[in-house]
Amino acid sequence: MIRTTEWTMTSDITPETAYRSTGDGERIWRLSWLPDRLLTREQARAGMELDEILSDIDSVHNRIAQARAADCAAELGLLWEQAVIMLSKLMIARLQVEQLEPDDPPVTERYRHRPHLVG
């Protein structure tokens, strides 16, 4: 589930977030996994939804979820396959940092799902 406030969007199944930047205009949102792009609120929401879909193992064979993932990615100007690669790289980086900080709970315990290939 995506929790949305005036300034942030968070997920209960993924570590990724969206946050509102200061500034004028419509494009003032950023995604933690796509930080170099200024986005509209709707695009940020689509990015969060895409991350959740790709993180849900039950979506692998769900054609409706796959179609929604493709739509969300298109709203960001991406192919869903590109999003899978970006999110997977972030997850790998987190797991590598986790190995360096053994006192923290493992990412796999904090988040049930990980980005994976859909379809």
Mean model confidence pLDDT for the chain: 86
pTM for this prediction: 0.79
Please give the single-letter amino acid code of residue 98: E
Average pLDDT over residues 102-109: 56
- How far is residue 74 from each of residues 6, 22, 26, 35, 97, measured CA to CA in Å? 24, 25, 18, 17, 31
Average pLDDT over residues 6-18: 94
Angle (CA) 31-93-29 rounded to 5° is 5
Confidence (pLDDT) at 95: 85
Confidence of residue 112 (pLDDT cuts 50, 70, 90): very low
Q: Identify the residue whose tokens are 């869903």.
A: 80
pLDDT in tens, 18-55: 999 887 788 899 999 999 999 999 999 999 999 999 99
Inter-residue contact 1 to 14 (CB < 8 Å) = no
Q: Which tokens hold the place of 65?
A: 């979820």
- Higher-pLDDT residue of 100, 89: 89
For the chain, give every domain's residue range: 2-110
CA dihedral 61, 67, 71, 74 (to 10 degrees): 70
